[in-house]
Structure 1
Amino acid sequence: MLPGQRRGFELDRRLEADSEPVMWLGLCELRIMNDCRWPWFLLVPLRPGSEEIHDLTPLDQAMLTFETNMVAQGLKKVTGCTKINSAALGNIVRQLHVHIIARNEGDAGWPGPVWGYGQREPYKREDLHQLAEAVKAAL
């Protein structure tokens, strides 16, 4: 990342607590959610004060779409999942972030959303790292 790129940007403490950094893509930091029930990634645009996609410039909106598609395709390739869920809700964590989640029929909570379903199950450290590296390689 270039010096000054994160100037004024601070990651929401809840996102930081629930996820681990994977890599910087250009606009966004790619993070993996520490919940092994679903392969689940986050894209967090490094733009201070952004809460909604329409808060971004048109160029940043296009870049967010590109990065979302790139991660979704990589995650689908790595996991072989039958469905990718992607969403930018922000009802609890207002900082703009996009969830990209690999889903399969019969997974925990299927066909409902992942939010609010059961208790988080943290990964074993080596499994978290292995999935993150596999998705990085697929990008």
Structure 2
Amino acid sequence: MSAFSLHPQLAKDTVWVSDLALCQVLLMNDANYPWLILVPQVADLREIYELNPTQRQTLWEESDRISKILVQLFQPTKLNIAALGNMVPQLHLHHIARFTTDAAWPAPVWGKVSAQPYEATVLESRLSQLREALA
């Protein structure tokens, strides 16, 4: 069995925030939306059903925790949670805070507008805010 490693596309598109019991918490480097991604740190994982029952429960608990943090910090109109994988087969859960004023509303975020990478000072502030909320 191979060791866990983050898919290269996720590594390219995100910034590490924290490690939880099961998942890495990543910030999508797109300032258009507050957008976190949970990646279970299990090698060769593609689907939720491939997790054992304890891991599945932990994933949902960590998703719940991330969801509550995004809602508390940003008060979105809607919180979108998705496990796609058409482009990146490694299991990962998107948690995207959506607003009626965002660039893609009400459509899905994918393919609507180009990602706007965070400016360095804004990124550091966002990471501090998220890490504090996770502490």
TM-score interval, smaller chain: over 0.9
What TM-score, normalized by structure 1, do the two folds share? 0.92
- What is the match of residue 16 of structure 1? 11
Letter of the aligned partner of 1:71 in structure 2?
A: I
Other structure's SS at 1:76 match? helix
How far apart, CA to CA, are the structure 2 residues paired with 1:119 and 1:74?
25
Runs of 5+ unmatched residues, structure 2:
none
Q: Which amino acid aligns with 2:75?
A: G
Question: Matches of 1:95 and 1:29 in 2, distance apart?
Answer: 13
Secondary structure of the residue that 2:24 maps to in structure 1? strand
Q: What does residue 58 of structure 1 align with?
A: 53
CA shift for structure 1 position 135:
2.1
Q: Which blocks of at least 5 consecutive residues in structure 1 are unaligned?
A: 1-6
- The percent identity for this pair of structures is 39
Q: Describe the superposition over 1:35-57 as per-residue Cα deviations: whole angstroms up to 9, x where unpaired.
A: 00001011000000110100111
Partner of 2:22: 27
**SS, match of residue 37 in structure 1:** coil
2:122 corresponds in structure 1 to: 127
Which residue of the partner structure matches residue 82 of structure 2? 87
Q: Distance in 2 between matches of 1:20 and 1:135?
A: 12
Give the whole-Å Cα distance in 1 for the aligned partners of 2:108 and 2:75: 19
Q: CA RMSD in A?
A: 1.1
Task: Kindly tell me the number of residue pairs found equivalent between the two proteins.
Answer: 133
Greater Cα offset, 32-41 or 79-88: 79-88
Moved over 3 A (4+): none
> TM-score normalized by structure 2?
0.94
